[in-house]
């Protein structure tokens, strides 16, 4: 396994990621390791994640409660075959 180890000014790293304020104006040691690869995501899981992502924001904001939205949808699709 390859590892990269480098000393870097915290100020230059703070533009990339959030760090504690006490790191400001200090040298930091950065160690980079490859992440363990997780098992391949199954196609079905990927499809579900994509479908969920496409639904984000699909229901417009209204003053209706979730129960009222549910009832509205049930009435709408009641007649659909």
Residues paired with residue 29 on neighbouring β-strands, in sequence order? 7
Residue written as tokens 């304020």? Answer: 21
Determine the pLDDT at residue 47: 79
For the entire predicted model, the pTM comes to 0.40
Q: What does the domain layout of the chain look like in residue ranges?
A: 1-34
pLDDT at 60 over 70: no
DSSP class of residue 8? E
Confidence of residue 29 (pLDDT cuts 50, 70, 90): very high
């Amino acid at each position: 396994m390859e590892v990269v180890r480098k000393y870097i000014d915290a100020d230059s790293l703070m533009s990339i990621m959030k760090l504690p304020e006490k790191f400001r104006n200090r040298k930091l040691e950065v160690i980079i390791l490859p992440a363990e690869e997780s098992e391949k995501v199954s196609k079905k899981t990927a499809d579900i994640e994509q479908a969920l992502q496409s639904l984000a924001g699909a229901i417009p904001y209204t003053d209706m409660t979730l129960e009222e939205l549910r009832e509205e949808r049930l009435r709408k699709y009641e007649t659909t075959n």
